[in-house]
Homo-oligomer: A and B are copies of this chain.
């Protein structure tokens, strides 16, 4: 039994006492205890690949803040790593791959992988976190979207303009579709394995869908997320497993995102959540959407912005409070205290 099921109830648009809240990247570098565990692990990939350490950093933010959900600590690039692309992290430069995808042959030569065995360190972490949480709050599993994973595999890491990935898309669309099919199959298996290991909701992070044209987004990102959502396990342990689809910078496409069949749409901060609710709030829950940069402002300014977002959403069910993107490393942890308290305190009147 869950002691706090606000998060799952809100995702299913059921009544709650206060608006549930969690933060993307809540287990992260803004927390000194995270930095200590990462130092202990030696490097970032060891942290991800050691279930005990992944469990520890997953739980750290919950010891400080009354978040209504935990999210598995992992990296979005575990699947390309399992495909043998040689993921590594160079200090200050983010993720890198030793092998790159640049031709149709590179795509064809990707090995057949068994996600369950290659990524057992992830499912082991999920099981362990569930045990340690002991029903305090639900656990969220996640994956990057096929398009987002593909951009890293083609670019070889992060990118400013995604020039190489876009060139691949426009010059070799068939090879791109084959890559995305392989990734979509792996993401489906990966999320289902997380659900079977105990994840009680899952989120697909389409971090880079929002750099595409509308037409390319539909065929190269959204279509693959739709195929994944259709194949996910619908119920586990007697509960529905809600799916959250988050396309950063996807505010123009909310109606199409709903059409994937997801239970909730993640919103970045650019969207007005009240307008989003008018557009799609009768069919799905909404998750979001405070600009993470506002956490650098004063606690008073944070509280004011939380109030504005709650007021824009208005009374009723179906809101999970979150940031519009991940929290950044330089934020003062005390500002997160103010943020979470403001959500719980200021939202109560909207649920009476």
Contact = CB atoms under 8 A, between A and B. Distances in A.
A206 to B, nearest CB: 14
Interface in A248-298: 249, 251-252, 269-272, 275, 291, 293-294, 296-298
Contacts of A272: 213-215
A270 B249 contact: yes
Contacts of A110: none
A175 B252 CA distance: 32
A215 B272 CA distance: 8
Interface of A: 161-163, 166-167, 170-171, 210-215, 249, 251-252, 269-272, 275, 291, 293-294, 296-298, 301, 305, 308, 328, 330
Nearest to A309: B213
B214 A166 contact: no
Q: How many copies does the complex hold?
A: 2
Which 8 residue pairs across A and B have the least CB separation, nearest first?
Answer: A170-B297, A214-B272, A166-B293, A170-B301, A167-B296, A251-B252, A171-B297, A213-B269
Nearest to A162: B293
Given A249-B270, A252-B251, A328-B161, A213 B166 contact: no
A305 B170 contact: yes
B296 A166 contact: yes
A270 B297 contact: no
Contacts of A215: 272, 308
A298 B171 contact: yes
Given A167-B296, A214-B275, 18 more contacts: A161-B328, A163-B296, A163-B328, A166-B291, A166-B293, A166-B294, A170-B294, A171-B297, A171-B298, A210-B270, A211-B270, A213-B269, A213-B270, A214-B270, A214-B272, A249-B249, A249-B270, A252-B270
